[in-house]
Amino acid sequence: MRSTIATVNVLIAGLLSAALLCACGGGPTASTPQLSSLDVQSALQVQPDKGSNFGRWIYSAHLYGEDLKIYEQNGSSLILFGEFTSGVKFPEGTKVTPNGWWYATNAGNSNVLVYKSKKSGPVGPFPPLQDNGQIPVNVDALPNRRLVAVSNQGSGSVPGSVSVYLNRQTDPSRTLTYGSGPAVGMGIAIDHQGDCYWSFNGAGSGSGTIVKFTGCNGSGTLVVSGITRVGGIIFDQSGNLYYVDQTSGIYQCKKTANCKNFLGLSTPGLVQPYNMNFDYKSKDIWVADLAGYIVEISGLNNPKKLQVMRYADGSPSDPPYGVAPAPGQ
């Protein structure tokens, strides 16, 4: 099954690259704006709107079905509420900020769709983030949205990259790359210092890598290497890094070092993890599983209370590639 999905991904990338070769990419300029440390600190103070109660919404992105599904959480069940299909083409990574702004990468149109969570469900779309000439596959944002980072898959001879959006602009302020070898962009995460972490796969097994761009700028430094096949990455409230190895499960690091597999594929409910996101305050991890499931992992701070719940979401032929819980109160 993994080889089938990988093959289809390559075919999709090929189809997209043919359409994107003539598009113009937004590169850095000498007057590229910077994000101040005050912007980063103010972002961390953003809280969910009191009384909003949009923590009941769970969103998933379906690459093959070309839709964004909206679920309402009801106890231990997820009930399909609706879906967005208009303008949606090859969606994958998705993210919701603490105050309810919902981002979803839209590779087929080289942009990132933007919606807003409300009590009655999401509304939008709002003006998208333009990512011309790129294949966006994952997204993360500071709570105040003054810094958004997008992982680009890359295609053919064009390596993957990271598009950085500052001050709520809809065009990238700069594009980041790492090294000179092949890089297929995967996950993206912004830590509490406003640094960007990017995961990508190179050629061959054991070539999954995570790098850090300080201030979401510069040439990047190596953080983790030798991952068999890396997927999504996230940070908890304490600044600990988590990443998916699609061949062996979910890894937890102490800050960004001493990474250990804490949920293997032998864990009941976890089959083919691909992307993941925390809910508000890092209480639970939500995983998009390519076997056709949304997986909720709770009790992270107490191994004796660790619980894995699996919800059907599509099928192995149309699985969720991204999942994002709207923030709770």
* CATH code, domain with 242: 2.120.10.30
Give domain status of residue 264, yes or no. yes
pLDDT exceeds cutoff 50 at 21: no
What is the reported pTM?
0.87
Give domain status of residue 47, yes or no. no
pLDDT single digits (tens) 157-178: 789 999 999 999 999 999 999 9
Could you list the residue range(s) of the whole structural domain that residue 318 is in? 2-23+56-325
pLDDT single digits (tens) 196-236: 999 999 977 779 999 999 999 999 999 999 999 999 999 99
Q: How confident is the model at residue 35 (pLDDT cuts 50, 70, 90)?
A: low
pLDDT exceeds cutoff 50 at 49: no
Beta strand 123-130 with 136-141 is unpaired
Give domain status of residue 212, yes or no. yes
| Residue 329 pLDDT | 36
Give domain status of residue 236, yes or no. yes
Which range among 40-44, 121-125, 189-193, 202-206 shows the weakest confidence by mean pLDDT?
A: 40-44
177-to-86, 150, 198, 210, 296 alpha-carbon distances in Å: 32, 12, 10, 12, 33
Give domain status of residue 38, yes or no. no
pLDDT exceeds cutoff 90 at 48: no
User: What is the C-alpha to C-alpha distance for residues 284 and 299, in angstroms, rounded to an integer?
Assistant: 7
Our measurement of the distance from residue 68's CA atom to the centroid of its chain's CA atoms, rounded to an integer in Å, reads 14
Give domain status of residue 34, yes or no. no
pLDDT exceeds cutoff 60 at 46: no
Q: How many domains does the chain have?
A: 1
Q: How confident is the model at residue 328 (pLDDT cuts 50, 70, 90)?
A: low
Residue 39 structure tokens = 């912007």
pLDDT exceeds cutoff 70 at 10: no
Give domain status of residue 173, yes or no. yes
What does the pLDDT average to over 60-66? 97
User: What is the C-alpha to C-alpha distance for residues 188 and 74, in angstroms, rounded to an integer?
Assistant: 30
pLDDT single digits (tens) 257-285: 999 999 999 888 899 999 999 997 788 99
